[in-house]
Structure 1
Amino acid sequence: MEQNAVEAVELGGNIPDFSLWGMFAQADWIVQAVMIILLLSSVWCWAIIVDKVRRIRRISAQADQFDAEFWSGNSLEDLFDRVRRNPDHPMAMLFVAAMKEWQRSVSGTGKIAMGVQDRLYRVMRVTVSREMEGLESYLSFLATVGSTAPFVGLFGTVWGIMNSFQSIAVSHNSSLAVVAPGIAEALFATAMGLVAAIPAVVGYNKISSDLGRYANRLDSFADEFGTILSRQLDEEEH
């Protein structure tokens, strides 16, 4: 590094700054734009990852608590009265939606409307789909960054290397002091692409796996609850 600085001084140029900020400040505006895009993408990816991980942990804990209450043997009507005003997690929303449809299907005379079982399953499927769609929001951004960030960084790399070759042509000097700044900027852009892509890919795979297990849990609960309501329907019809 000291030898490079000496060569730069002998050439009458400034000593290049190889700090992170220095490489950014000395870079071509196109390379700077690439770096800014990758930095903002990385920050947004981390925000999504942290938010999703915290939310999945919260709704999983809430589902555990609700599941214990549901199978405690207490009346489903009492449980419905407690959670209907503020169903704050998907499993509670699924339960409330099904119970509301069940109550609407019972006429004032106590008779069960036709097709109630199909409607109950349809309501639960729609609720699961809607809740999972909300939980999966912004995951496509993680997938996009994970697949494209390395190529965006590579574009900055190619552009930086092109600038290095232009410096050689202008100065008619192929010493390391001439090409080092451009190469450093190019490698910095590549590194930023990887810094953005790797957490995005890991986060996407982790969150998708956790959400897949949670969706299976909701589906299992919907099937079990549907079985309970179907059994009660058969009892009331007979």
Structure 2
Amino acid sequence: MEGITLSTEAATLSPIALFLQADIVVKGVMVGLLLASIWTWTMIVGFSIKLRRAMRDSDEFERDFWKAQDIDKFYEGAGRADQPAAKVFAAGVQEWRRSTARGAIDRDGTRQRLATVLASATAGEVDRLADRLNSLATIGSVAPFVGLFGTVWGIMRSFTSIAAAQNSSLAVVAPGIAEALFATAIGLFAAIPAVIAYNRFSHGVNRLEGKLNRFSDGFHATLSRELELDR
């Protein structure tokens, strides 16, 4: 009989049973946190692939660029690729062509415009890459408090059960407390990966931004040397 009782209690405290026994408010909290967890892992997988591809493509583009002998020919061949370094390069080439199309070239003005365009293109590519990354920070900061709300609600329900039954035994309070703790666990399950992923991805985006800044500085220096030549 004791073995049967323990098996029944274990089944009662299973995640599915805790969800089915929960109050409608706690159920809503659990469903919301589970959806947030699914969204978190979807973003983690998707952004990992996106960031890894951006870093790889930028490395390959820079390697090919520094080997190129003619910037115009390189632009026609590889300068229109849909990846961050190529977009920065294309913005610089387009500004260079506009600034040097006139007969008399304002060297200082051209340098300033190139620096502005390259910095703007770099910032735009970083913003585009990091789009929706703040969702991870939001989930990481909000999910524990949502789980805490479910915890508080479950404990309140337990006290209500005690008052209604006029009995403070463990059998009366255990279901509500178990539901409350389960809501907290789901909140942490959603928040912890989100915080870790946000910090990791932020570091990766910062690395890519630094790489693009170094590339734009080198490209700007190359074009600046071209301005020193007699045209």
**TM-score normalized by the length of structure 1:** 0.89
| Matched residue, 1:11 | none
- Greater shift in the superposed pair: 35-44 or 15-24: 15-24
In structure 2, what is the Cα distance between the partners aligned to 1:42 and 1:167?
31
Which of the residues 130, 141, 157 maps onto 2:135?
141
* Counterparts of 1:161 and 1:181, CA distance in 2: 10
| Equivalent in 184, 202, 205 of residue 211 of structure 1 | 205
d(CA) in 2 for partners of 1:4, 1:161 = 28
Distance 1:62 1:182 in 2: 53
CA contact (8 A) 1:66 1:92 kept: yes
Which of 105, 124, 140 is residue 112 of structure 1 equivalent to? 105
Q: Cα offset for 1:113?
A: 4.7
Partner of 1:71, secondary structure, is helix
Residue in structure 1 matching 2:33, options 38, 44, 53:
38
Note the alpha carbon deviations across 1:143-200, whole angstroms, 9 max, x for none: 1111121111111111101111111111122222211111110010010010011000
The answer to whether residue 224 in structure 2 is matched with residue 230 in structure 1 is yes
Q: In 1, distance between residues paired with 2:208 and 2:157?
A: 50
1:169 aligned partner? 163
Taking structure 2 as the reference length, what is the TM-score of the superposition? 0.92
- Provide the C-alpha distance between the structure 2 equivalents of 1:90 and 1:230, rounded to a whole number of angstroms: 22
Q: How many aligned residue pairs are there?
A: 228
1:128 aligned partner: 122
In structure 2, relative to structure 1, the CA distance for the partners of 1:89 and 1:21 (3 Å cut) is same
Question: Aligned partner of 1:153: which letter?
Answer: G
Consecutive unaligned residues of structure 2, counting only runs of 5 or more, are none
Cα RMSD of the aligned pairs, angstroms, is: 2.2
Runs of 4 or more above 4 Å deviation = 2-6
* Aligned residues of 1:5 and 1:177 also touching (Cα < 8 A): no
C-alpha distance in 2 between matches for 1:173 and 1:123: 73
How big is each residue's C-alpha offset from its partner over 1:74-117, in whole Å with a ceiling of 9 and x where there is no partner? 21111100124x421110000011001111122265x4356111
Q: Percent identity?
A: 45
Q: Give the Å deviation of 1:73.
A: 4.1
